[in-house]
Amino acid sequence: MRPLSTKIAAIAPSATIEITEKARKMQAAGMDVISLSIGEPDFPTPEHITDACIDALRRGETHYAPGKGIPALLSAIAEKIEQENNIPCTPDQVMVGCGAKDSIYEACEAVLSPGDEAIILDPSWVSYEPFVQIAGGVPVHHPLNPKNFQVDDTLLEKVTNKTRLVIINTPSNPSGAILNRESLDLVADICHDHDLIAISDEIYEKLTYGKTHLSLGSLPGMAERTITVNGFSKAYAMTGWRLGYAVSSKEIIGYMNRVQQHTISHPTTFAMYGGVAALKGPQQCIEDMRSEFEKRRAFVLRSMDDMGLSYAPADGAFYAYVRVNGNDTEVASRWLEEAHVAVTHGTAFNHPGWIRISYAASMERLEEAMKRISSVL
Ligand SMILES: Cc1ncc(COP(=O)(O)O)c(C=O)c1O
């Protein structure tokens, strides 16, 4: 048989999914593996959200819906984006996708023509590079400042006449860093000067610890050239619902909608009613989960201090991003094989020498994991 797609052959499988699968296999074989490799809140979805979805199912909301999402959800998102993110937004500037992942992918498809370059800031979430490649673009990696994980003016060196897109992520997976105003200003200036579009992935926006999240799209003149992506997975513990969204100019959203019309059509109809309940219902559930993450964060960072390991800012998300001696892939394998603790190696984020530890696990499991890591160190 002739070879399959050369485009897909060039794409690495998702390292985080692979590690988690390996840990699952070890668990299935009877080993007590602690999985700190996955980016998923360990809390159940709040009941009022689940109830709204069940009600929708019982009402018979089981048919096709409008392609960009049900009107009630588009309005709720537009309202949230205006009020919380200070980005002017009307419902026709919103599109709901199957998770933020789907929205970012569609954004890359909508913006990039073959050969266009997309700048990705490292350490970077594992899927940005494949999205750009699948869309026919060329990923151009650029390191964040290693001292503070912020953008500096070296970013300009990566801009060429082929650059079309910059992808930012704040708070960051894996580093937990929150991009400050100076970083966002630098990105905005480069976008204005070189007529670039930015994707701002803000999926961890609600999980911050002492620092304030700021949206790139709220900066002067940036609303029309930013695709702000967010979703329900992390803030409302809704990873399995596959619900996320993008907000941008009508033109960009229109292009993204063409991709969506011919691929997924729209996210699951009854799931979208859960999304409405999430945004319009009580928000205390977010604070309850955030404050629990904050306690775990303090414990894990204290444990890192005790072990003499240094780490990235950890101002947001639910990851401790830790510097290790030697080859990070080998260190992660050793922790899995000898300590039965699954973590993710920095190489997966195009950033060797680091390890990402998710603290989205119970305090009891984290305590046991820290003991085990300490013993193999
Ligand atoms: C930085 C980042 N963006 C996007 C996503 C995707 O989220 P969703 O579940 O909404 O597709 C993740 C999930 O891990 C993430 O870490």
pLDDT at 13: 77
Q: Which token pair is 73?
A: 């959800």
142 by DSSP, 3-state: which? strand
Q: Is 87 a pocket residue for ligand 1 (Cβ < 6 Å)?
A: no
Residue 236 Cβ < 6 Å to ligand 1: no
pLDDT of 16 > 90? The answer is no
Helices (H), the chain: 6-9, 15-28, 47-59, 71-85, 99-111, 128-134, 181-194, 250-262, 269-280, 284-307, 328-339, 363-376
How many whole angstroms from 375 Cα to the centroid of ligand 1?
32
Query: Do 290 and 257 share a structural domain?
Result: no
Domain count, the chain: 2
pLDDT in tens, 323-334: 999 999 999 999
48-98 pLDDT per residue, tens? 999 999 999 999 999 999 999 999 999 999 999 999 999 999 999 999 999
Would you say the CB of residue 231 lies under 6 angstroms from ligand 1?
yes
Q: Is 101 in the pocket of ligand 1 (CB under 6 A)?
A: yes
Distance of CA 17 to the CA centre of its chain: 14
Does the beta carbon of 86 lie inside 6 Å of ligand 1?
Answer: no
- Any idea which residue has 């050369």 for tokens? 6
Domain-ending residue, one of 280, 314, 335: 280
pLDDT(21) > 90: no
Is a pLDDT exceeding 80 seen at residue 15? Answer: no
Question: Half-sphere exposure of 13 toward its Cβ, with a 13 Å CA cutoff?
Answer: 7
160 and 248 inside one domain: yes
CA of 157 to the centre of ligand 1 (A): 28
Q: What is the position in ligand 1's atom list of the atom closest to the CA of 16?
A: 14
Q: What is the pLDDT of residues 119-169, one digit of tens each?
A: 999 999 999 999 999 999 999 999 999 999 999 999 999 999 999 999 999
Q: Specify the ligand 1 atom closest to the Cα of 173.
A: 1
Ligand 1 nearest atom to the CA of residue 125, by list position: 1
Distance CA 353, CA 311 (A): 11
Residue with tokens 């964040």: 144
Nearest residue by C-alpha to atom 16 in ligand 1: 173
When pLDDT is averaged across residues 171-193 and rounded to a whole number, the result is 98
Closest CA to 264 of 62, 108, 7, 69: 69
- Whether residue 372 sits in one domain with residue 316: yes
239 ligand 1 Cβ < 6 A = yes
Specify the length of the chain in residues: 377
End residue of a domain, out of 257, 280, 303:
280
Q: What is the pLDDT of residue 38?
A: 84
Range of the domain at 191: 63-280
pLDDT in tens, 304-348: 999 999 999 999 999 999 999 999 999 999 999 999 999 999 999
Whether residue 223 sits in one domain with residue 132: yes
Closest C-alpha residue for ligand 1 atom 7: 100
Q: Ligand 1 center to residue 203 CA distance, Å?
A: 6
Among 104, 170, 173, 236, which residue has the most ligand 1 atoms within 8 Å of its CB, making it the best to mutate?
173
Query: Is 53 within a domain?
Result: no
